[in-house]
Amino acid sequence: MDKPATIKDIARQLNISISTVSRALRNTPDVNIETRKAVMALAEELSYQPNKLALSLKQKQTHNIGVIVPNLDYVLATMVRGIDEVALEAGYTVMVCQSNESFGREIVNTRRLLDSLVDGFIISVSSETKVFDHFKKIQEKKMPVVMFDRLIPDLQAPGVRLDNMDGGYQATEHLAEQGYKRIAILAGPKNLGISNMRMEGYLNALKKYRMKPDPDLMIHCDFNQQYAYIATQELLAMKKRPDAIFTISDRMAIGAMLAIKEKGLRMPQDIGLVGFNNEPVVSLVTPAISSVDQPAFDLGKLAAKLFIETVHNNSDMSMVEEVLRPKLYVRESSLRIAPKNGRSR
């Protein structure tokens, strides 16, 4: 009653061999129906639970997935929920590790999980990470890796991402259509792919609307509210200040909003603002901030599905790159002209 029961215990009590017990429990054909019943009954009675460790050791797979994320903010937590959903269904358990946007922490976490704890990884890279040796090490061990949200071009692995370029395009196009003439962008660190893609969309939209990109209006700053606040202050202090700002994240949009309010400028009249992620907060502030929504939950699910597929088919899916479409939600912060059809939520 103290130690958990094993197949040995069952075998001993039933006076049969452990091999037979093992077979009986696994529904292999070569076992008498009576003995099987007896085994099953006793297993139930002893509340036998197969030892996952022994199993994993034997067949060299753990049925665990290592998920590494830079943090657990709204968007990523939602994605993780999506991953969890699919993984559980497929018989996998996920191990979530936060790198806290720290390169060192990311390496430690990876090493940890690599120690025969997981069968593979689903990864969203930290913004600090510029070298990917620790991820390549995973692939050397022939472990499947799926990237999500923030992809790594250098890494030969499948990935799921948002069409960030389209998102940047939608946001900027909307601002242009609303009559804004000097549209600034608050982007993230230069090594961050998602940031660069969104900026590319921004540039494309400018081109389409025949606006000349102005380097002074394209700011790179850290991915948080505080830096966006400062950057916005500087933008607004220019002699030819921008009349609209597109920020690469909602956190940054909030920072920008605070700076704008402090300066006494009104949205959307004096200045337009569009964020990215569509976190719940943006519809609660005044004025409500327009934002590009990403299907985070679905993105997580897709990543997990891709992982499962890679494991099952054991095929090379390294060239697969699923792209999901974002959708702009227009709110007061950028709406100067009455919309053709109603939206927001």
Letters for 85-124 (x = contact with its own copies by CB under 8 A, - = none) are: ---x----xxxxxx-x-------x---xxxxxx-------
Q: What are phi and psi of 127, to 5 degrees?
A: -75, -15
Nearer to DNA, 3 or 340 (CB): 3
Q: In DSSP terms, which residues pair with 274 in a beta bridge?
A: 246, 290
In the bound state with its own copies, the residue whose beta carbon lies nearer, of 165 and 303, is 303
Among 2, 30, 44, 140, binds DNA (CB under 7 A): 30
Q: How many CA atoms lie within 13 A of 150 on its CB side?
A: 22
Measured CA to CA, the distance from residue 78 to residue 89 in angstroms comes to: 17
Taking CB under 8 A as the rule, does residue 228 contact its own copies?
A: no
Three-state SS annotation for 245-275: EEECCHHHHHHHHHHHHHCCCCCCCCCEEEE
**Quick check: 226 binds DNA (CB under 7 A)?**
no
CB of residue 64 to DNA, shortest distance in Å: 17
Q: Are strands 183-187 and 244-247 parallel, antiparallel or unpaired?
A: parallel
- Give residue 292's identity as a one-letter amino acid code: V
Closer residue to its own copies, CB minimum distance, 99 or 172: 99
What single-letter amino acid sits at 75? V
Q: Name which of 270 and 322 has its Cβ closer to its own copies.
A: 270
Q: How far apart are CA 187 and CA 195, in angstroms?
A: 6
C-beta of 113: minimal distance to its own copies in Å? 7
N- to C-terminal Cα separation, the chain: 57
Subset of 24-83 contacting its own copies (CB under 8 A): 49-54, 56-57, 62, 64, 72-73, 77, 80-81
Which residue, among 118, 97, 94, has the nearest Cα to 106 in the 3D structure?
Answer: 97
* DSSP string for 159-175: EEEE-HHHHHHHHHHHH
Range 50-69, binding DNA (CB under 7 A): 50-51, 54-55, 57-60
Q: Is 7 in the site for DNA (CB under 7 A)?
A: yes
41 touching DNA, by CB under 7 A: no
| Binder of residue 72, out of its own copies, DNA, none (CB less than 5 to 8 A by kind) | its own copies
Residue reference for tokens 């390549």 = 136
Instruction: Examine residue 280 and say whether the peptide bond preceding it is cis (omega within 30 degrees of 0).
Output: no
Q: Which residues bind its own copies (CB under 8 A)?
A: 2, 4, 49-54, 56-57, 62, 64, 72-73, 77, 80-81, 84, 88, 93-98, 100, 108, 112-117, 141-142, 254, 257-258, 280-281, 284-286
